[in-house]
Structure 1
Amino acid sequence: MKSLSVICLLSIIFATSCKKNTNTALETKTQYPTAEKIETHLEKHGDVRIDNYFWLNERENPEVIDYLERENDYNDKMTAHTKDFQKDLFAEMKGRIKEDDASVPYKLNGYWYITRFEKGKDYPIYARKKDSLEAPEEILFDCNKEAEGHPYFKMSGLNVSPDNKLIAFGVDTVSRRKYNIRIKNLETGEVYPEVIETTTGGSTWAADSKTLFYTKKDEETLRSDKIYRHILGTPVSEDVEVFHEEDDTFYTFVYKTKSKKYLVIGSSSTLTSEYRILKADDPMGEFKVFQPRVRGLEYGIAHYDDHFYVLTNADNAKNFKLMKVEEGDTGKDNWKEVIPHREDVLLEDIEIFKDYYVISERNNGLNKINIKRWDGNVDYYLPFDNETYTAYVSTNPDFDTQILRYSYNSLTTPNSVIDFDMETKEKDVKKEQEVLGGKFDKNNYVSERVWATASDGTKVPISMVYRKGIKKDGSNPLLLYAYGSYGSTVDPYFSTVRLSLLDRGFIFAIAHVRGGEYLGRNWYESGKLFEKKNTFTDFIDCSKFLIKDGYTSKDHLYAMGGSAGGLLMGAVVNMAPHLYNGVVAAVPFVDVVTTMLDESIPLTTGEYDEWGNPNEKKYYLYMKSYSPYDNVIAQEYPNMLVTTGLHDSQVQYWEPAKWVAKLRELKTDNNLLLLHTNMEAGHGGASGRFEALKEVAEEYAFLLDLEGIKD
């Protein structure tokens, strides 16, 4: 259901008549589990839906756990012959990763900060060095030690106080995205006794280094709805609520401007935003509304000198424009244009420095980085020379510098972190991603961007990569991946894991379907609400194009998506199951109507502007017309692997569980249908970097086995 910040579990499949006979034999030998049918009538707007598996949402019901465990056992038995292959794939993927790796250091307030990994360990070590990289290392946290005794561990929101003496941090040991915030004294190593529960994990210090602002989540819905102020050394019970976001379609957050002058409370929904500001040296003061919310008005703010710079869609600037306003009176009526709206360029972000500002743009789907001087004497773009790359502004906390740090990679080129001198235009490549194992040569791979024609005539871009030498004779196995919601764009990116597919003959392709923002804001808006079905038909039309042009065939075409991309998978297999030999649906949002009618489910109310509010009949009927769970019918479906996590806070485990149960009841084929529930994890899967690879190896083995590839 919710954005996964985009899911990168990429897998593939292939099919022959021999494969199908094997599946039939396996199904005959091993009886698949069935869930008990308990009829539940769900009525809305005079329409009655019968849900035989509604009871599976009873998380504490032992029979629910039993069913999930029986599905896991069935999955294990049906894939037992691939276990050694899974281990080999895991070792292969792990073998490409530099285990004793480290991030490129960045400087903040007199310290160099580094994240590094040690060989054989799953979790990061956070460290810093004072003034110089030659200085002694000070370990902030060794997450390998912190994670001991926890099946899941995630640390987030590390935030050092302005005086460099304290660090606030959030920890989640359940994978429910409910973080406990603690504070550590970096001089003594003491972790203070205060535990701030049920937060986002993020926080920000006031200028006094003793006042901490943080975001609380609603215990039931997990919506981040309140901002609190905590004073060091006082009981958490005395923390003061400074803001309550009462509109349940909004969430709230707090941060400090890069200039360090202002604390900012933000409120955001799919279509609307609002900010409040307070000087960081006045933490006991009252936050002032920057510009009152107006439905449909989106804006973001950055501070420089005595002005705020505002990235906004005001006045029908769908692709956004840049405005500025003086500190004293920040309302919209006082905004002055800096960069006008352009129909063909999406304005995505701004990074501010003392002498320069950097604009992140997207034109014809491609990332652009525009560098400008405040005095107007410099205005140029960084040059990029292909159509299947990703370039983005990286970590730049230092305000008084002429060095811009950015990252670049492509479907064939590993990631590089680059320091660019905005004055001299000199590049310093600080780090190139290493691909270990001695077998990778980027010259062995080809990438391209092609355009499919959708059923309504719209041209839909597809980015793809494959090994040199393939023939367009329809024999290539091809994995088509997409997301297509929330305006979230899946850019073409390099993956060492994906090499395990490419080197076995697969083509990997990304369908940039409507619902994402690859081709601008209109591209997003034409794939949501009453135009949501464009996302599904775009994907199907991309599939048909790839078959027609000989890249693959329906016997060798595979599809994958996760979360909202899992909804896409569910819709596609209902609408065009014959096009695919196999599908992987990761944490799929498939029970759209029931979930969107239940306001107690985490994050639901904030989704209304994306999917519609089914309490209104028109939205209800449109959702029902595509909701994967509601539209399962008696027909043949592709081979399918469905994954979920018991503690998932974004797409509840019962959605994929119910979907699989209904598919088992109605599908008319003997193709594989497997459900794997991670009983210890949530939306993002396992927490360790290598544990997560085991899950990918399991998916790849499943898909490669269908293709008849055994090693």
Structure 2
Amino acid sequence: MSEAPTAKKVPSRREHHGDVFEDPYEWLRAKEDPEVVAHLEAENAYTEAVTADQQPLRDAIFDEIKRRTQETDLSVPSRLDDWWYYSRTIEGKQYPVYCRVAASEGGGFAGVDSWTPPDVVPGVPVPGEQVLLDGNAEAEGKPFFALGGAAVSKDGNLYAYSVDNAGDETFTLRVKDLRTGEHLPEVIENVFYGLEFSPDARRLFYVMADESWRPYQVRVHTLGTPVEEDSVLYEEPDVSQWTSIELSSDRRWLLLSVGNSEYSETRCLDLEDASGLEDPAAGLQLLLSRDERILHAAEIFEHDGETQVLLVHNDGPQGKAINSMISTAPLAEFRKPLGEQRWRTVVAHDDAVKIEGAEVTATHLIVSLRRETIETVRFAPLSEALAASPAPSFAEPAFGEELYTAGASVSDFRAPVARLRYTSYFTPPRVYDYVLATGELLLRKETPVLGGYDPSEYVAERAWATADDGTRIPLSVLRRASLRADGTNPALVYGYGSYELSMDPGFAIARLSLLDRGIVFVIAHIRGGGELGRRWYEDGKKLHKKNTFTDFIAATDWVVESGWADASRIACMGGSAGGLLIGAVLNLAPEKYAAAVAQVPFVDALTTILDPELPLSALEWEEWGNPMEDAEVYAYMKSYTPYENVRPASYPTVAAMTSFNDTRVLYVEPAKWVQRLREESTSGRPIVLKIEMDAGHGGASGRYEEWKDRAWAYAFIADALKAREPIS
């Protein structure tokens, strides 16, 4: 076995609140330094050497993923105006092809039949198909490809899209004339996510990020004019605020949102107001100010000749509605001071139900909610939602599984159906059309799984671990049905636990390869996530963050105590903020794990957040606290940040996976962390760094490259747990 790369030590001091931290590896942050690049390449060479014997296992898992996947496939077409839009994949090709076909009956919108998707078959040419964008052609000759966003003009003639060819999540925006297939001359560089057309297709709204990768500015481009003349619709100076845009469901209003995880602000622009479009910045109206400290999301729509506002918000009548509620009011009410506005409650606050979002069609209100960890959806007639009384009657589809995820959306405001997506741990994704008037569910597709997949061979169960403070932690326990709780099985515990993001049930072909090798896969729904509502999130952030880590350890203990795992054959895994989780857990209880995989891990969080010039740093204050201003936050973060708390201990086999061009979590964090782990570990087990030199936060682009990355991580785990071969 070759020697692990040893980075030189260069003295560097970080001093805050009277505390000094000596960091000898901070020099690795110099991305353009050839010595840094050489070190990272040496890390890759070492990783390749140490894990070379895992290559057959990686190949086997990759082949299993490939064999189970229908490579030539297509999405269920979604209708918008007079077109059906869909994407298709082709065997041997990395990226989707985005297409459309004309709706045969023209402009018919009244009946459900006009919303039945055309009969298209994978691999069979679609008559009249028009290719909007071929991802494979766009990616040719490029090291990376990702689509940042796309929009079609209301007349269907123009297609705007943005592409990232570096992995740093900054995009190049172009516009294609779908009548000729030619691109318009303008090219806009370094844009962020978010782009929309005005209804007359004369203007394009898009978002820019500042040097710290914070979306802060919305610009307006008039087609046919130089990009240099683009005007600024809005600019946000507060470094702790995130700016985004979207169209209202009826596409009349541009909604501009500014906010963070604790409060927000909404502005709106009437896109059908000709005078306002001549000077969009002057036409931009403040709907609800951040000064009210209300966390909300707004929708604007026309109903019975009146402009209405739908709000999902946390401003309850008796104080904060922590799990959010839904209210409506005419737009005119928002021209009054908040205390004089009259909002009508549509869905009241419920401590047991978290309102995740709401959407409207011309006839119905669609509510996304979370109850007992599970995200599902309800529908109500819009006329009832807007009536003075009584409360609307909601319909909720039943699916017959305990652990599942369901959500709905509409492609066109006038649609008589909603597109409903359903999945569970062992039910492949299904697409339904939900008939709004009758509640009928029309199955449009279930994603095929090849290779003789039989869901009855697997089991998904809910279990509960108990944290040190008595809190019950929900777990999802996935396994082969033939396994028994006899204390001999290998297990993988997976977690995230930040930003109120929930690890919802969903089917994953790659995961079957671990389960088929007898590994029990446990997802720990720990505090800091959103599985049990807003309080669950708040109990795992800022000065409560350590609950996230101790919850995960409690979940690991449960796996042993329940008999589902051999205590010597447990691995842990997480990515991004979940990588911070893995790093913190390894410092607290390294003896509990045989192996760990930390993907793009946020392991040097305190150093990052202390530098507001680094990407996203100031935006992180609402999640972790502001250690620059608050000495208590600084001390608390320093007590758990993985890099700073590595100690002499018997660390398990560790793989850190990262990307050179990642903007969200810089490669330097795991590069430094790996050095410290090697210095302090007393176990002698390998600690490796795998770095994609042409990739971003999501890893390498292209589905086959993604499968290879997944196979690499899963082979690393299976090898460490002595579970290389499938069980009978």
TM range (shorter): over 0.9
Matches within 5 A, 1:377-388: 378-388=393-403
1:368 corresponds to which letter in structure 2? Answer: T
- Corresponding position of 2:222: 231
CA distance in 1, matches of 2:561, 2:594: 16
1:636 corresponds to which letter in structure 2? Answer: S
- Corresponding position of 1:688: 702
- Corresponding position of 1:8: none
Find the partner of 1:241 among 232, 241, 258: 232
- Corresponding position of 2:515: 502
Q: Does 1:289 align with 2:286?
A: yes
SS for the counterpart of 1:55 is helix
1:378 Cα deviation after fit: 4.3
Q: Does 1:184 align with 2:176?
A: yes
Higher mean Cα deviation, 652-661 or 348-357? 348-357
- Corresponding position of 1:469: 482
Find the partner of 1:276 among 248, 252, 267: 267
Find the partner of 1:630 among 644, 647, 651: 644
Give yes or no for contact 1:411–1:464 (8 Å, CA) kept in 2: no
- Corresponding position of 1:304: 301
1:425 Cα deviation after fit: 2.4
SS for the counterpart of 2:637 is helix
Give yes or no for contact 2:570–2:721 (8 Å, CA) kept in 1: no
CA distance in 2, matches of 1:557, 1:702: 13
CA distance in 1, matches of 2:662, 2:253: 35
CA distance in 2, matches of 1:672, 1:681: 24
Give yes or no for contact 2:457–2:482 (8 Å, CA) kept in 1: no
- Corresponding position of 2:360: 352
TM-score when normalising by structure 1: 0.94
Give yes or no for contact 2:259–2:290 (8 Å, CA) kept in 1: no
- Corresponding position of 2:30: 58
- Corresponding position of 1:323: 327
- Corresponding position of 2:87: 115
1:94-144 alpha-carbon deviations (Å, 9 max, x no partner)? 111111110000000110001101111001100001113375101111111
1:470-528 alpha-carbon deviations (Å, 9 max, x no partner)? 11121111111111000000112111111101111111111000000100000000000
2:79 corresponds to which letter in structure 1? Answer: K
SS for the counterpart of 1:329 is helix
Give yes or no for contact 1:371–1:381 (8 Å, CA) kept in 2: yes
1:83-104 alpha-carbon deviations (Å, 9 max, x no partner)? 2221222111111111111000
- Corresponding position of 1:21: none
Q: Does 1:124 align with 2:115?
A: no
1:585 Cα deviation after fit: 0.3
Give yes or no for contact 1:171–1:201 (8 Å, CA) kept in 2: no
CA distance in 2, matches of 1:693, 1:536: 29
SS for the counterpart of 2:509 is coil
TM-score when normalising by structure 2: 0.92
CA distance in 1, matches of 2:383, 2:301: 13
- Corresponding position of 2:139: 147
Find the partner of 2:712 among 695, 698, 705: 698
Give yes or no for contact 1:35–1:67 (8 Å, CA) kept in 2: yes
2:646 corresponds to which letter in structure 1? Answer: V
Matches within 5 A, 1:211-610: 211-218=203-210, 220-282=211-273, 283-284=277-278, 285=280, 286-294=283-291, 296-305=293-302, 306-315=307-316, 316-330=320-334, 332-333=338-339, 334=341, 335-376=343-384, 378-393=393-408, 395-438=409-452, 440-610=453-623
SS for the counterpart of 1:602 is coil
1:343 corresponds to which letter in structure 2? Answer: D
Q: Does 1:106 align with 2:103?
A: no
CA distance in 2, matches of 1:378, 1:651: 45
CA shift in 2, pair 1:586/1:369, >3 Å? same
2:253 corresponds to which letter in structure 1? Answer: Y
SS for the counterpart of 1:704 is helix
1:593 Cα deviation after fit: 1.2
SS for the counterpart of 1:551 is coil
CA distance in 2, matches of 1:276, 1:296: 15
Higher mean Cα deviation, 352-361 or 512-521? 352-361
2:311 corresponds to which letter in structure 1? Answer: V
1:350-380 alpha-carbon deviations (Å, 9 max, x no partner)? 1211221111111111223211112337422
Give yes or no for contact 1:180–1:197 (8 Å, CA) kept in 2: yes
Higher RCO, 1 vs 2 (CA within 8 Å, ≥6 residues apart) = 1
1:643 corresponds to which letter in structure 2? Answer: M
Give the aligned length: 680
1:523 corresponds to which letter in structure 2? Answer: W
SS for the counterpart of 1:419 is strand
Gaps of 5+ in 1: 1-28
Higher mean Cα deviation, 620-629 or 399-408? 399-408
1:62 corresponds to which letter in structure 2? Answer: P
2:695 corresponds to which letter in structure 1? Answer: A
1:328 Cα deviation after fit: 2.0
Higher mean Cα deviation, 96-105 or 295-304? 295-304
Matches within 5 A, 1:188-199: 188-199=180-191
Instruction: Give RMSD over aligned pairs.
Output: 1.3
- Corresponding position of 2:653: 639
CA distance in 1, matches of 2:526, 2:15: 33
Q: Does 1:37 align with 2:52?
A: no
SS for the counterpart of 2:13 is strand
1:526-563 alpha-carbon deviations (Å, 9 max, x no partner)? 00000000000000011111111111132111111000
1:247-269 alpha-carbon deviations (Å, 9 max, x no partner)? 10011112210111211111121
CA shift in 2, pair 1:158/1:433, >3 Å? same
CA distance in 2, matches of 1:142, 1:593: 42
CA distance in 1, matches of 2:643, 2:243: 32
Give yes or no for contact 1:591–1:655 (8 Å, CA) kept in 2: yes
CA distance in 1, matches of 2:312, 2:723: 50
2:622 corresponds to which letter in structure 1? Answer: D
1:294 Cα deviation after fit: 2.7
1:80 Cα deviation after fit: 1.1
SS for the counterpart of 1:260 is coil
Give yes or no for contact 1:271–1:295 (8 Å, CA) kept in 2: no
CA distance in 1, matches of 2:291, 2:592: 44
1:419 corresponds to which letter in structure 2? Answer: D
- Corresponding position of 1:23: none
Find the partner of 1:70 among 42, 51, 56: 42
1:252 corresponds to which letter in structure 2? Answer: T
Give yes or no for contact 1:482–1:511 (8 Å, CA) kept in 2: yes
1:202 Cα deviation after fit: 2.3
1:255-304 alpha-carbon deviations (Å, 9 max, x no partner)? 21011121111112121111111111232342000011136411111123
1:450 Cα deviation after fit: 0.5
1:413 Cα deviation after fit: 1.2
CA distance in 1, matches of 2:543, 2:227: 45
Higher mean Cα deviation, 230-239 or 501-510? 501-510
Give yes or no for contact 1:127–1:140 (8 Å, CA) kept in 2: yes
CA distance in 2, matches of 1:261, 1:30: 63
1:226 corresponds to which letter in structure 2? Answer: Q
